[in-house]
Chain A
Amino acid sequence: MLGAAPTDFIAARQFFMLAYIARRILASVPVLVVVALFVFLLLRLTPGDPAAILAGDMATPEQLERIRESLGLNEPLASQFLTWIGQLLSGDFGRSLISHTPVLTLIGQRLEPTLSLAIVTMLITLLLSIPMGVVAAWRHGSLTDNAVMAMSVLGFSIPVFVTGYILIQIFAIDLRLFPVQGFKSIGSGVGPFLSRIVLPAFTLATIYIALIARMTRAAMLEVLDEDYVRTARAKGLSERVVLFRHALRNAAVPILTVVGTGFALMISGVVVTESVFNIPGLGRLTVDAILARDYPVIQALILLTSGIYVVINLLIDISYAFMDPRIRY
């Protein structure tokens, strides 16, 4: 019986965790419904008429009316909403009012560039910002610390389009090491993929490096004076082990939160970086759809963004339990 207790404990913990995940997934359904209704109404209240955009400059009032009719924009709002929800429930996100392309196809075309940019940016960010934050906290008050903090302020303060154009000027135009713009799928080869993603990822990473390095430093400063850190040092562990295995793990919860929300932000669209480097991502699709009042596309994108936030927040909450065993659900 003595051996059964830990097994029961682990099983119970897994059960509570699964129940928690199920509760959170169920709770996200009303959130998404409210988002859907809100977005639908907000878009219809925003001035703008897809028919006028579709028809161009020379359309007469009568022609505009005929196009509105054919797009179903003259139907009562409730009827339009129910039709859309009905389509959603059957997995149909509709078609773009402007290009007539299925919305899911449009989103599918833009997902890879956005995910690639987000993942590479986050990798660069984590590789640089965590060590920077750890070292800054470890050498608190030193020149290194001040340098990291100064770089952090700079990273926050310089707009990404300025960083982007400077990097383009140096590495693409002057040194000709990278192309100026564009995106290549990883399917076309690692070289072409990396050559086009490195500069935009570095550009975008400057902000996140600044943010996460600061956050890491602050969190590390809190734990470095804790007894268990002193104990670890007293045991003769190397500074690397003390810093990265003992201190950083305990400082990880707030860092993880920022990393998670930062990643969600990147997926929901980084329009300026995408524009400067001509990356056809979700951010540009969102702006184009808003400017064209392409209702089905905007609605699907906002629902998708909401879903991403729900999932990422859930993953962050779950990861807390792994980072800090004291956290229970």
Chain B
Amino acid sequence: MSIFSPASAFRPSRLVRSALLASALALGALAAGPAAAQEIRAVMHSGIRVLDPVITTAHITRNHGYMIYDTLLGMDENLKPQPQMASWTVSDDKLTYTFTLRDGLKWTDGKPVTSADCVASLKRWGERDGGAQLLFKYVKGLEPKDDKTFVMTLSQPFSYAIELMAKPSGLPTFIMPERVAKTPSSESITDYTGSGPFKFVESEFEPGVRAVYEKNEDYVPRKEPASWTAGGKVVKVDKVTWVVMPDAQTAVNAINSGEIDYLEQTPTDLLPLLEANPELTVMTLTDLGYQTMGRLNWLYPPFDKVEIRRAAMAALGQEPILAALVGNPDYQSKCGSMYGCNTPYATEAGDELIMKGPQPEVAKKMLDEAGYDGTPVVLMQPTDVGSVAPQPVVAAQLLRQAGFTVDLQPMDWQTLVTRRASQSPVAQGGWNMFFTNWIIPEVWSPINNPMLNGGGKEAAWFGWPDDPELDEMRVKFAAAETEEERKTIAADIQKHAYDVVNYIPVGEYKIPTTVSKKLSGIVKMPVPVFWNVEKSE
């Protein structure tokens, strides 16, 4: 037989086949196995690109902030502010707050943390955070008294100040060195010196690929046990690496095969792939999940009329939207409280219309009475973000059933965030409605909740409600002296916000986190943190 007969010319010999098999086995053996014992490899909900946790409210940047910075105050699992870097006292007239730094606070460059650093950081925070901007309207003075003490004086009582400084999300009070904190709040910082439990390894940072954090050996944790962002932030591993994996299936494969230890957000449709793995635990890090909501543009027809905004609320309903968004009863729930359910100010005040929905017939009648002329509702749909793509599709159908003319416009999320900032008429690039989500700590009080701002075109959040009555009520809330008084005002605010349809909450959902059973001591809270976490061999 010729060596070039079709049958034998290109058939690999036994030797070649053996070599191929051996190579494959060798490659498998050479492939790095499980991660090093003291390194946690985590896939977070997105890649980090912006490293300044004050210029942006992006959650991934906030998480980065918790790694490398400490916060002035902390909040425990009972939602009570606690000392973290500093303790505080308040004068009898409620106008003077004195903060005292604890011992042992040190920057990663070896210098001590001083009150001047805290003052500069708080001033920058005051320029960016919505609640802090309200607080700073009443701040008369914010000055260091000595290296470890600083004083904030107010022109009128603002009893919510401490809660605001202790809040875990939105913009927490991350403290930076004075030289860094003096960066204009419209520019990103470029010096990542912190005093937190981890150090940022800048040389290993690849935006969109990985971020690496090493244990800060000089960090002195508080003595109390860790509880949310309060208590001792004791680091029990050498290194945490955030690996970016944009593809959810790849991330699920990676944790299933032990290549990563922690998957912050697990898509509920992929849970069956993980729940059967005895080496993994699927958990929710908090009972407080996300609020998903629709926002209407008050500037232009048809939603410039409150009656038509109410008709839209009657047309929508939480159940159909949650079914499309989550589709798993274990991870979704109806909730009419604008402050989130299971929170201190949770209330049902004014939520009847949205909780009964969808009511197309009621909505139709309301539209007739309001004289709706068929002006199309331009509803923006971001197609590239799974957590906000389904809501507009369902909402469009529900609105149509109620008699609205709807122009559902698909676009990418970045186009949406740009377009929603446009105050132009709809025909010139404006909009009428969009949906987004918040973690509950970002909306859990009238001060934290960004939508409950009636500042109109100049100061309000996108949609720009011009509602001075709402702003007056918020100021009263901030100054209220007792918790009961606050709860009463919060309920009044919510009732008012529903009456004018400030925004439309369409339910709550939770996103499961998957972790390797090698990890223990995970602090359960709405923000993923890596102190207190141990990794076994």
- Within the assembled complex, what's the spacing in Å between the Cα atoms of A110 and B209? 9
Q: Tell me if B257 and A176 are in contact (CB < 8 A).
A: yes
A224 within 8 Å of B (CB atoms): no
User: Which A86-104 residues have C-beta < 8 A from chain B?
Assistant: 96, 98-101
Question: If the complex has contacts A52-B418, A58-B450, A179-B257, are A284 and B208 also in contact, measured as CB distance less than 8 A?
Answer: yes
Minimum CB–CB distance from B59 to chain A (whole Å) comes to: 9
B272 within 8 Å of A (CB atoms): no
Q: Tell me if A172 and B459 are in contact (CB < 8 A).
A: no
A223 within 8 Å of B (CB atoms): no
User: Which A175-217 residues have C-beta < 8 A from chain B?
Assistant: 175-182, 184, 189, 191-192, 194-196, 198
- Within the assembled complex, what's the spacing in Å between the Cα atoms of A291 and B246? 13
Minimum CB–CB distance from B262 to chain A (whole Å) comes to: 15
Residues of A within 8 A of B47 (CB): 288
- Within the assembled complex, what's the spacing in Å between the Cα atoms of A101 and B190? 10
B342 within 8 Å of A (CB atoms): no
Q: Tell me if A285 and B421 are in contact (CB < 8 A).
A: no
B188 within 8 Å of A (CB atoms): yes
- Within the assembled complex, what's the spacing in Å between the Cα atoms of A275 and B245? 7
Q: Which residue on chain B has the smallest CB distance to residue A197?
A: B27
Residues of A within 8 A of B186 (CB): 63, 66-67, 69-70
Contact of A98 among B50, B170, B249 (CB under 8 A): B50
Q: Tell me if B31 and A98 are in contact (CB < 8 A).
A: no
**Interface residue SS majority, chain B:** loop
Residues of B within 8 A of A316 (CB): none
B16 within 8 Å of A (CB atoms): no
Residues of A within 8 A of B128 (CB): 63
B467 within 8 Å of A (CB atoms): no
Residues of A within 8 A of B170 (CB): 58
Question: If the complex has contacts A135-B10, A284-B208, are A49 and B418 also in contact, measured as CB distance less than 8 A?
Answer: yes
Q: A58-B57, A181-B245 are in contact. List 14 more A-B contacts (CB 8 A).
A: A47-B418, A54-B55, A58-B170, A60-B130, A62-B459, A63-B185, A66-B185, A98-B50, A99-B51, A101-B205, A135-B9, A194-B30, A195-B31, A280-B208
Chain A residues with CB under 8 Å of chain B are: 47-49, 52-64, 66-67, 69-70, 96, 98-101, 106, 109-110, 131, 135, 139, 142, 144, 165, 168, 172-173, 175-182, 184, 189, 191-192, 194-196, 198, 238-240, 275-278, 280, 284-285, 288, 291-293
Chain B residues with CB under 8 Å of chain A are: 2, 4, 6, 9-10, 24-32, 47, 49-51, 55-58, 61, 128-130, 170-171, 184-188, 190, 205-210, 243-247, 249-250, 253-254, 256-257, 259, 384, 411-415, 417-419, 421, 423, 429, 436, 438, 450, 457-461
16 A-B pairs with C-beta separation under 8 A: A52-B421, A54-B56, A57-B450, A100-B188, A110-B209, A135-B6, A181-B259, A182-B254, A191-B26, A191-B30, A192-B32, A195-B28, A275-B246, A278-B246, A284-B208, A291-B414
